[in-house]
């Protein structure tokens, strides 16, 4: 970090808004396949009774995200460098946490193939003359072109624009539902807060918990976006001075504001998606997959806003899915060079080497996602499978958060009693929900 980049955080609220951004990239990633597919499918299969899974998923993981963001600011190191310093067994040059992240993320190629395929299916419904296979290929290459240049501000602005319109449309659909026979009561919503989990929806619930709200991927990705936004560079290296602590507290507070606003956005959208799915689709004998899944989900909008809303749903659904894949590619192209360096497969992480790998991976991953989708062609199953894998990766993330908090506690940066309570509540809740889901599954 260059001394020239060090600066004091703004004190005015409106000036602070100018330094937000990582959370909006996160929202673009969150408001996508989890909401469009996993959340609505859970609502369709479980009705209102599993509403609590979605709320817990959105609200409870934020404390873990904040701990990762704080560690990224005070350490200034890429996350995999920090993971490689966690206690536990080492295999070669990487420890268990680095290898777990690498292997589980590779498995999630299945999920990203489903998300890309879902985007292509939506476009094929808008333009039926062009086959899904061609759309998948075209979308994959368009992603590569967007990420290839590797401009953070482009990623931030594009991600924000992609999700904004769909967010408004989804909330409008929920409001419109109250003027149809599918309207629901407050008592029905309350019935979803009893923490029941029927056996028949275990797989979908675990997948939805792993993929909605701040999933394991987004928590990991958030550290890279915080650093690229400049929070760590503005804070500067820890020289033990009081000035450094003042800067660190200030930039951590801005990161908190960024994460809190993002949480409001994705919690509202996720809850709206779930309630729409529970109200409109619950009770159907079979929830289809493939192209018919998107058609079934389109009923959410046609039932609440009329047949004329179908095109709006499909257009919005495309941008929600595409924004998720876009944000994920931007994140993966940064994560994997970090992983490769920890394994010793890359000898240096200087800017030139890092840029070269980002540019190359921007083409490699979309090709893998295209091939995966063309072989499986079941986007619903693919996305939910990725969510289950994400739930396992979330356990790795929790272990990392506990060790980061222990390491950074002595700095006494925004770690009072309330912060301590929320953090451990988050840890315990994640462990209990994951353990309960795994127990019920088997």
d(C-alpha 264, C-alpha 394), whole Å: 21
DSSP H/E element including 305: helix 290-305
Which residue, chain included where needed, has tokens 């680095």? 98
Q: Which of 370, 293, 330 has the alpha carbon at shortest distance from 139?
A: 370
**CA dihedral in degrees (357, 362, 363, 367; nearest 10)?**
120
Residues near 262 by beta carbon (within 8 Å), at least 6 away in sequence: 23, 24, 26, 27, 30
CA 130 to chain centroid, in Å, comes to: 30
CA 354 to chain centroid, in Å, comes to: 23
DSSP H/E element including 112: helix 109-126
Can you give the pLDDT at residue 116? Answer: 92
What's the sign of the alpha-carbon dihedral 168, 174, 177, 178?
negative
Contact 34, 57 (CB under 8 A): no
Can you give the pLDDT at residue 98? Answer: 97
Report the CATH fold assignment for 3-441: Hydantoin permease (1.10.4160)
Structural domain spans, the chain: 3-441
Contact 226, 38 (CB under 8 A): no
Encoded tokens for 368: 């893998």
In DSSP notation, 69-105 reads HHHHHHH-S-HHHHHTTSSS-EETTEEHHHHHHHHHH
Contact 112, 217 (CB under 8 A): no
d(C-alpha 86, C-alpha 278), whole Å: 42
d(C-alpha 377, C-alpha 386), whole Å: 14
Q: What is the pTM of this model?
A: 0.86
Contact 254, 9 (CB under 8 A): yes
Encoded tokens for 114: 């489903």
Angle at 117 between CA 165 and CA 303, to 5 degrees: 50
d(C-alpha 337, C-alpha 425), whole Å: 33
414 φ/ψ sector (left φ>0, alpha ψ -120 to 50, else beta): left
Tens of pLDDT along the chain (442 residues) come to 555 578 998 988 889 988 888 888 887 777 765 566 667 777 777 888 888 888 888 888 888 999 999 999 999 999 999 999 999 999 999 999 999 999 999 999 999 999 899 889 888 888 888 999 999 999 999 999 888 876 667 777 777 777 676 677 777 777 877 877 778 888 988 988 888 878 777 777 776 676 667 778 889 999 999 998 999 999 999 888 889 999 999 999 999 999 998 888 888 888 887 887 788 777 665 665 555 666 666 666 565 566 666 676 677 678 778 888 888 999 999 999 999 999 999 988 777 888 889 899 999 999 999 999 999 888 878 877 877 787 788 889 999 999 999 888 878 777 778 888 889 988 887 787 666 655 655 5
């Amino acid at each position: 970090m260059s001394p020239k980049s060090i600066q004091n955080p703004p004190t005015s609220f409106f000036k602070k808004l100018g330094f937000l951004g990582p959370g909006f990239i996160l929202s673009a990633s969150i408001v996508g396949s989890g909401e469009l597919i996993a959340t609505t499918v859970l609502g369709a299969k479980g009705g209102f009774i599993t509403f609590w899974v979605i709320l817990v998923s959105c609200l409870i993981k934020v404390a873990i995200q904040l701990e990762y963001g704080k560690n990224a600011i005070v350490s200034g190191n890429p996350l995999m460098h920090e993971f490689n310093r966690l206690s536990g067994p080492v295999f070669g040059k990487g420890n268990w946490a680095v290898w777990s992240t690498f292997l589980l993320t590779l498995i999630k190629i299945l999920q990203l193939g489903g998300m890309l395929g879902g985007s292509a299916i939506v476009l094929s419904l808008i333009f039926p003359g062009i086959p899904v296979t061609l759309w998948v290929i075209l979308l994959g290459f368009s992603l590569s072109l967007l990420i290839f240049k590797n401009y953070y501000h482009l990623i931030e602005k594009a991600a924000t624009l992609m999700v904004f319109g769909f967010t408004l449309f989804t909330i409008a659909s929920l409001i419109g539902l109250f003027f149809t026979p599918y309207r629901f009561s407050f008592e029905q919503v309350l019935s979803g807060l009893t923490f029941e989990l029927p056996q028949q929806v275990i797989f979908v619930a675990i997948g939805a918990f792993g993929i909605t709200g701040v999933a394991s991927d987004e928590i990991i990705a958030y550290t890279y976006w915080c650093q690229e936004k400049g929070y760590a560079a503005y804070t500067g290296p820890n020289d033990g001075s009081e000035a450094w602590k003042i800067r660190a507290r200030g930039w951590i507070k801005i990161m908190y504001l960024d994460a809190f606003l993002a949480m409001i956005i994705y919690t509202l959208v996720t809850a709206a998606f779930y309630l729409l799915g529970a109200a409109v689709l619950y009770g159907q004998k079979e929830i289809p997959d493939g192209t018919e899944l998107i058609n079934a989900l389109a009923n959410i909008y046609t039932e609440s806003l009329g047949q004329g809303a179908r095109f709006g749903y499909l257009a919005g659904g495309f941008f929600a899915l595409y924004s998720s894949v876009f944000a994920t590619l931007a994140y993966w192209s940064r994560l994997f060079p970090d992983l490769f360096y920890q394994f010793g497969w890359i000898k240096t992480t200087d800017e030139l080497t890092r840029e070269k790998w980002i540019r190359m991976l921007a083409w490699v991953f979309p090709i893998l996602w295209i091939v995966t989708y063309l072989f499986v062609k079941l986007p619903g199953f693919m996305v939910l499978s990725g969510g289950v894998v994400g739930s396992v990766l979330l356990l790795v993330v929790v272990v990392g958060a506990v060790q980061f908090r222990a390491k950074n506690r002595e700095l006494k940066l925004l770690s009072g009693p309330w912060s301590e309570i929320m953090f451990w509540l988050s840890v315990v809740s994640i462990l209990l929900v994951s353990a309960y889901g795994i127990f019920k599954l088997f």
